[in-house]
Amino acid sequence: MRFAEFKLLEETNNVVIIGDSIAVGLGGSEPYAKGGISTVEVLRRVNAFIQTGKAKGATVILSSGASNSAPIELEGGVKKPGNGGLSPVAEQLRALKQAGATVALVGTGSSKSTAFPGTSWTGGKKYIVDLTGVNEQLASMASATGATFLGPLEDYDQGLHSGKGDGIHPFGGYQKIKQAAMAVAPRKGQGTMPAAAPAKPGEDKMAQAGATTILTVPNGNINPEIADIQKTLLELGYKLPKYGVDGVRGAETVRAIKQFQRDNGLEVDGDPGPETVGALNKLIAKNKIKIVKSTSADVKARSNNREKADLNLAYNSVTQGKIGKLLDIVAKPESGGHYDIMMGGTRNPKILSMTINELLAYQKQYKAMGNETAAAGRYQFMPKTLANVANQLGLDRDKVVFDPATQDKCATVLLKEKGLDQWLAGKMSDKQFMDGLSQVWAGLPSPSKGGASWYDKIGSNKAGMSIAAVQQGFDEIKST
């Protein structure tokens, strides 16, 4: 397909390019494409596009910022985690799907980049971006949301690792990538076309893996996707002796997932995220395992024992690790996991692109409209609390946006104020920590008040979780 044909397709179809420097190379520009931005910043731009109301029926070519958020190695062999991690990519894809867009997700290189000059973030040291395994994670995320995955980049630019390329940017492959992306775009007046394979499907290992994908990354801890993972673990020889396939990620299932992760050289956290689900899917294909897809009938949550996982969330925290899992506990009763909630129930995506000061002004208006409170975001920040935390962090309230990463950062300050570090070090009891958190978040139960909210019967406040459910979350975090 020639460039003139690309332009014709863009003009006759609603095609938008969002993302980082690769998106710019594909023809994207501000406000949706900018070089060097992370997955968190790309998520903010995705949300800004969705708020225009133009996402339904659009085709989005998405370069997610993964190359800017992958782990890096500094001179001397020091390794650093990526800026923002890959979790926001899943959020990008889910948000676009919910908004009605067709998405073509651009991949990354499959190994390490060349050395780049030092930056202020690396302390002036040269660094290498390690993209090993990133494509597998992106492919799994795309599969979970019905997006078309366009990776790895070596399939489009054979010189990516030839010494002439930098291992990140497909200088000789932009046109091929755009051709593959445009092939998934529905023409005006026609229904959605079947997703097309990349330029060389016979050589595209990730495209072949996508065709055999059975499992998807679960949203939450009680659903049919968990049951599918349990069925696969049993087929692979892992034990679930007490509860078997019940669609609940309780302690027994977490133990089995951790053992699978240990056996396969993965991060051992008990969380069936993109890397773990991708590894399971590969073994399904390799061993020709047949899994009957689960339905709601396979989900058998128990209401009277500690195995019940009461943390079924719309979206998991963009923060990873123990803090991310603790933030998920807070989010369950406060927002159900949504980052764009006002006063516990009303979703308002525009708050995700507001600066903190813009949000504070909006909260003042929201309260003046007769609403009980103006609590905002995943952790239901009251205006005074948000302003105080932002000041503690030294955030420029006229520039810093109330996006998921900022919300997590602000909520973590509140966790620390109530003894997070002492609790993680074993110097504070679960009861003390739970009581402290319940004094910040009214939806959490207070052990001192018999499981009721600390602010029970003040306004509409009530506990949205049981002490046992929070304790189970604590136990899983401490066992990681």
Confidence band (pLDDT; 50, 70, 90) for 186?
low
What's the N-to-C CA distance of the chain in angstroms?
50
Distance CA 215, CA 257 (A): 14
| CATH code for position 85 | 3.40.50
pLDDT for residue 236 is more than 80? yes
* Residue 31 located in a structural domain: yes
Which of 112-121, 220-229, 313-322, 354-363 has the least mean pLDDT?
A: 313-322
Q: Decide if pLDDT at 302 tops 70.
A: no
pLDDT in tens, 196-205: 333 333 333 3
Task: Tell me the two tokens of residue 197.
Answer: 């394979």
Q: Is 116 contained in some domain?
A: yes
Same domain, 284 and 355: no
Instruction: Indicate the number of domains in the chain.
Output: 3
- 415 band by pLDDT with thresholds 50, 70 and 90: very high
Q: 430 versus 216: which is more confidently predicted?
A: 430
Q: What is the mean pLDDT of residues 369-391?
A: 91
Position 30 scores a pLDDT of: 86
Task: With respect to residue 360, please indicate whether it lies within any of the assigned structural domains.
Answer: yes
- Tell me: the pLDDT tens digits for 84-109? 888 899 999 999 999 999 999 999 99
Q: Counting every residue, how long is the chain?
A: 480
Q: Whole-angstrom Cα distance, residue 391 to residue 109?
A: 39
The one-letter amino acid at 74 = L
Distance CA 66, CA 92 (A): 12
* Alpha carbon distance 70, 131 (integer Å): 6
pLDDT in tens, 434-446: 999 999 999 999 9
Whether 127 is in a domain gets the answer yes
Task: Examine the domain organization and report whether 294 and 356 are in the same domain.
Answer: no
From 265, 298, 331, the end of a domain falls on 298
CB 64 within 8 A of CB 39: yes
Whole-number percent of the chain with pLDDT over 90: 39
450 within domain boundaries:
yes
- If asked whether residues 395 and 272 sit together in one domain, one would say no
227: number of Cβ within 10 Å: 27
Measured between alpha carbons, how far is 206 from 245 in angstroms, rounded to an integer?
29
Pair 308, 248: CB distance under 8 Å: yes
Cα angle for residues 399, 403, 407 (degrees, 5° grid): 105
Kindly report the CATH number assigned to the domain that includes residue 263: 1.10.101.10
235 and 181 both lie in a single domain:
no
Q: Token pair for residue 399?
A: 């520039």
Q: How confident is the model at residue 381 (pLDDT cuts 50, 70, 90)?
A: very high
Q: Is residue 351 within 8 Å of residue 376, measured between CB atoms?
A: yes
Which of these, 112, 150, 151, 114, lies nearest to 132 by C-alpha position?
A: 112
Q: What is the pLDDT of residue 480?
A: 66
Amino acid at 161: H
- Whether residue 230 is found in the same domain as residue 331: no
- pLDDT for residue 219: 60
Are 88 and 235 part of one and the same domain? no
Q: Do 403 and 446 sit in the same domain of this protein?
A: yes
Could you say which of 190, 211, 246 is where a domain stops? 190
| pTM exceeds cut of 0.85 | no
How confident is the model over 215-223, as a mean pLDDT?
Answer: 73
| Cα-only R_g, the chain | 23
Do 361 and 470 fall into the same domain? yes
Query: Where residue 182 falls among pLDDT bands split at 50, 70, 90?
Result: confident
Question: Rounded distance, CA 166 to CA 226, Å?
Answer: 39
Which range of residues forms the domain containing residue 411?
Answer: 321-479
Closest CA to 82 of 46, 124, 122: 122
Per-residue pLDDT averaged across 205-223, rounded? 56
CA 81 – CA 31 distance, rounded (Å): 27
Helix, strand, or coil (residue 345): coil
Same domain, 40 and 183: yes
- Residue labelled with tokens 């390690």: 130
Shared domain for 291 and 329, answered yes or no, is: no
Is 307 domain-assigned?
no
Q: In this structure, are 281 and 355 located in the same domain?
A: no
H or E stretch including 105?
A: strand 102-106
Element (H, E) at 115: strand 112-116
Residue type for position 76: G
Q: What is the Cα–Cα distance from 103 to 148, expressed in whole angstroms?
A: 6
For residues 330 and 380, give the distance between their C-alpha atoms in angstroms, rounded to a whole number: 10
Write the CA distances from 238 to 173, 205, 255, 264, 285, integer angstroms. Answer: 43, 28, 10, 13, 18
Residue 218 belongs to some domain of the structure: no
Average pLDDT over residues 415-425: 94
What DSSP state is assigned to residue 201?
Answer: G
Helix (H) or strand (E) holding 102: strand 102-106
CATH value at residue 419: 1.10.530
303 found inside a domain: no
- Residue that the structure tokens 């949203």 belong to: 219
What does the pLDDT read at residue 315? Answer: 66
Residue 375 is predicted with a pLDDT of 92
Tell me how far apart the alpha carbons of residues 322 and 461 are, in angstroms, rounded to a whole number: 27
Q: Is residue 386 within a helix (H) or strand (E), and if so which, with residue range?
A: helix 383-393
pLDDT of residue 217: 74
The answer on 336 and 290 residing in a single domain is no
> 378 pLDDT band (50/70/90 cuts)?
very high
